[in-house]
A = this chain, B = another copy of it.
Amino acid sequence: MKRIAESTVRRLSLYLRFLEEFEGRGLATISSDELAARGGTTSAQVRKDLSFFGSFGKRGLGYAVPELAARLRQILGLGREWRVIILGAGKIGSALAQYRGFWQRGFRITAVYDADPAKVGRKIDGFVIRNIEALERDNASERADIAVITVPAESAQQVVDRAVAAGIPAIMNFAPVQLQVPDDIALKTVNMAMELEGLSFALTNRD
């Protein structure tokens, strides 16, 4: 298959969200124009994005809402459950552990780890915080799909190295650093400081 741009994947994710909303309202079909208006893009963009994966619409009519939603879920790999562990039981890690929105889309948090002996053994939302020293051993049997990194910047690289060594194939990084991982590991970084600086730039350089 042709390589798919990251921006395309993000938009598919958006489209799916809208489709689910329409599905809830019981609408049967939707046009690329309606999807586009909702997502702040153009109808041509919507059709091009979908065309990478096949042709799902009916000319003159549009797309069948439940079918397109099902196809997008399949494309995005949301037809299964993903096992997610959280590394770092600080403020952000704890907040994510308690966030219900993930469960809904098939992302199951299966464990929370921390390096601080004072935190290990305590509970967050039903999870007993485990010692990060046990990560490799635990993961030999528990096999997580995604590790969420919420440790301080200073220790993020060594924690991600451990996660990779333990065989975890995807990393979602919240630490404000650029992490190095092997090519075959999927990595996404959410850097709030960088986003704020983007706003700072926009506010400073507007006409």
Contacts and interface: CB of A to CB of B under 8 A. Distances in A.
Interface of A: 1, 4, 6, 9-10, 12-14, 16-17, 38-40, 75-78, 82, 84, 91-92, 94-96, 98-99, 101-102, 105-107, 145-146, 169-170, 172, 176-178, 184, 186, 188, 190, 192-206
15 contacts: A12-B201, A13-B193, A17-B176, A39-B178, A76-B200, A77-B200, A77-B204, A78-B200, A91-B95, A92-B92, A105-B193, A107-B196, A146-B203, A170-B203, A172-B195
Given A190-B195, A196-B107, A203 B13 contact: no
A189 to B, nearest CB: 9
Contact of A195 (B1, B188, B204): B188
Contacts of A76: 197, 200-201, 204
Contacts of A78: 197, 200
Given A4-B205, A194-B10, A99 B105 contact: no
Candidate in A84, A193, A196 with the most chain B CB atoms within 10 angstroms: A196
A44 B49 CA distance: 30
B10 A196 contact: no
A77 B205 contact: yes
Candidate in A98, A107, A202, A206 with the most chain B CB atoms within 10 angstroms: A202
Contacts of A201: 4, 9, 12, 75-77
